[in-house]
Amino acid sequence: MEINHEDFQKARRISREVQRYLEEINEDGLRSTDIYPILAKKGLIEKDRHNGLHFRRFLRKLKDNDLLKLIPQCHARNLILLLMVFMQNFHAFNCRSERVSAFKVPIKRNIILVFGVFAAQALHILSMQIPFMQNMLRIEPVTFNEWFYILALAVPMILAMEVFKYFRRSKT
């Protein structure tokens, strides 16, 4: 299923309407069946008796052509999940000691934690590549640049905890 110019423009119009609707209601977690009536009413998608079957097929077509990121919420949810996984993994290494810097505590001190963090990260990476897991978790693979940006956003977790530990040590 190839995406043509008309489909691309349709995705852009849907994206703008979804963005406008999300700003209007200030709510997260919409599914295609939630937004279907609004888009059908605006004439952006055709209304059918199967409660959005054509719309779901269109979204699947976008996904198959790696263009689902045109719909803002789908791609944003994916990046936020990746950011949370990175932040939790960094925080796990910080929690090895309440007062000593994470850089001073030897990694060998808790080898089970190291394997657990690597296993969790590997599971997340693997889940982004397996179609079954992509559908279940509603995620998609990310580009190298997006990995870099998410990693850069997660690093301040380490810095914040190091500052916290410094002030905690200086109080006692």
pLDDT of 127-149, one tens digit each?
Answer: 888 888 877 776 778 888 888 88
Q: How close are the terminal C-alpha atoms of the chain, in Å?
A: 65
Query: What is the model's pLDDT at position 119?
Result: 93
Tokens of 18: 């979804």
117 closest CA partner among 99, 90, 153, 81: 90
CA distance 54 to 49: 10
Nearest to 52 by CA among 14, 8, 102, 5: 14
Percent of the chain with pLDDT over 70: 74
Question: Of 152, 148, 146, 3, which Cα lies nearest the Cα of 75?
Answer: 146
CB 65 within 8 A of CB 8: no
d(CA 59, CA 7): 10
Q: pLDDT digits over 70-124, tens only?
A: 666 666 777 888 888 898 888 888 888 888 888 898 888 889 999 999 998 899 8
> Domain extents for the chain?
5-70, 75-171
Is residue 44 within 8 A of residue 10, CB to CB? The reply is yes
Provide the whole-model pTM: 0.58
Q: Residues 2-43: pLDDT tens digits? A: 667 777 677 777 777 777 776 676 665 566 666 777 777 777
80: enclosing H helix or E strand: helix 72-94
